[in-house]
């Protein structure tokens, strides 16, 4: 059952990337922007607390 879910997720990601590469790139870019935003604000929070 675990293998089926894992292979299904991999197949979905491959299908998404191959059928809409611009959408996949936009999704990755948004994810990286989100990590950058969280890191910047966490750093600001820690600097103001200390």
Cα distances (angstroms) measured from residue 6 to each of 1, 10, 13: 9, 6, 11
pTM summary value:
0.65
- Report how many domains make up the chain: 1
Task: Kindly tell me the burial class for residue 17, based on how many C-beta atoms sit within 10 Å of its own C-beta (0-12, 13-18, 19 or more).
Answer: middle
pLDDT by residue (tens digit) across 2-48? 899 999 999 998 998 899 999 999 999 999 999 999 999 999 999 99
Quote the pLDDT of residue 36.
97
Neighbours of 18 (CB within 10 A): 9
Domain span at residue 17 reads 2-49
Quote the pLDDT of residue 1.
82
């Amino acid at each position: 059952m675990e293998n089926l879910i894992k292979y299904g997720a991999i197949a979905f990601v491959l299908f998404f990337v191959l059928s809409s590469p611009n959408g996949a790139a936009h999704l990755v870019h948004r994810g990286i922007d989100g990590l950058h935003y969280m890191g910047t604000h966490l750093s600001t929070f820690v600097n103001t607390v200390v």
